[in-house]
Amino acid sequence: MLRQAAMTRHFTTDLDVSAEEQSAILQLAAAMKAAPGEHRERLRGATLGMIFQKSSTRTRVSFETGIGQLGGRGIFLSARDMQLGRGEPIRDTGAVLSRYVDLLMIRTYAHRDVQALAESSRVPVINGLDDVYHPCQVLADLLTIRERKGALQGVQLVYVGDGNNMAHSLMLGGGLAGLHVRIVSPREFAPNATVVLEAQDIAKTRGSRIELTDSIDGVEGADVVVTDTWASMGQEEEHQSRLRAFASYQVDEAMMARARPDAIFMHCLPAHRGEEVSEAVIDGPASVIYDEAENRLHAQKALMAWAIENS
């Protein structure tokens, strides 16, 4: 195992890093993307344990590939194949696994499980997604916006849809980066009020704004338009009722016309084409969804290096 210092740096929410640290991670991600060969030994010998309680495509492949490209190895740990799936407390899992590996990533439902894992772990814990936050995705989103817009400070991002984990992390991580973030959602599906207040407090220190509205007029002037599925994993039985509630919130060509002429469209994927986004938009010239998906790899490589090297 790599040597760990006294203080372990976790990434359980977007705010586990400072604005300066977030910027440094994004800078490193850009450098790793531009010259991957220069970092192939950076985490030589490191082992990443990847705990999955939710299924995944991009999270698993990007983390496993990323640690390999840095000279380490990843171990896929499905909860149903672990003692965790048979009732072992997650704090016991964390205490044991962190004696074997150098880094843990968890993709799960309850945020309290991420917290419990971090509290019991000797090594950094990265939140690959939970029902409240999706901070790794937002790092990739910020990297993509920076590539396309040249900067983050002052860029207007508008998220249209459910006030879910993506909305929460976009407000927190975006606010930390100096983005203006506006959430457009039906009132009954607005983001968590506590998270909103936390994001607004952070944004004030960065000279940015966090706003909420239920009107699609909120898309006016957007530099970046983002959406996500209307029913997240675990909400499938609500699908039909959500279709009705979000019917007027589809990101289609008419909605994109409200944004700035050079606006880009983003989606964390997987997408339900014809529901939260039209085929014309997701496959159109404004869409950067595949660059965004690729940037999961680069952002997470930088995050893993930062977490280990600063712990």
Catalytic residue among 250, 296, 298, 300: 296
Catalytic residue among 42, 58, 107, 242: 107
Q: Is 209 among the residues known to form the active site?
A: no
Q: Is 228 among the residues known to form the active site?
A: yes
Q: Which two tokens stand for residue 100?
A: 């074997």
Catalytic residue among 58, 134, 168, 242: 134
Q: Is 260 among the residues known to form the active site?
A: no
Catalytic residue among 53, 69, 137, 250: 137
Catalytic residue among 228, 242, 250, 298: 228
Q: Is 91 among the residues known to form the active site?
A: no
Catalytic residue among 58, 115, 223, 268: 268
The DSSP-derived string for the chain is: -----SS---BSSGGGS-HHHHHHHHHHHHHHHH-GGGGTTTTTT-EEEEEESS--SHHHHHHHHHHHHTT-EEEEEEGGGSGGGGT--HHHHHHHHTTT-SEEEEE-S-HHHHHHHHHH-SS-EEEEE-SS--HHHHHHHHHHHHHHHS--TT-EEEEES--SHHHHHHHHHHHHHT-EEEEE--GGGPPPHHHHHHHHHHHHHHT--EEEESSGGGGTT-SEEEE--SS-TT-GGGHHHHHHHTGGG-B-HHHHTTS-TT-EEEE-S---BTTTB-HHHHTSTTB-HHHHHHHHHHHHHHHHHHHHHT-
Q: Is 201 among the residues known to form the active site?
A: no
Q: How far is CA 178 from CA 163, 172, 196, 261, in A?
A: 20, 10, 15, 22
Q: Is 156 among the residues known to form the active site?
A: no
Q: Which residues are catalytic?
A: 107, 134, 137, 228, 268, 296
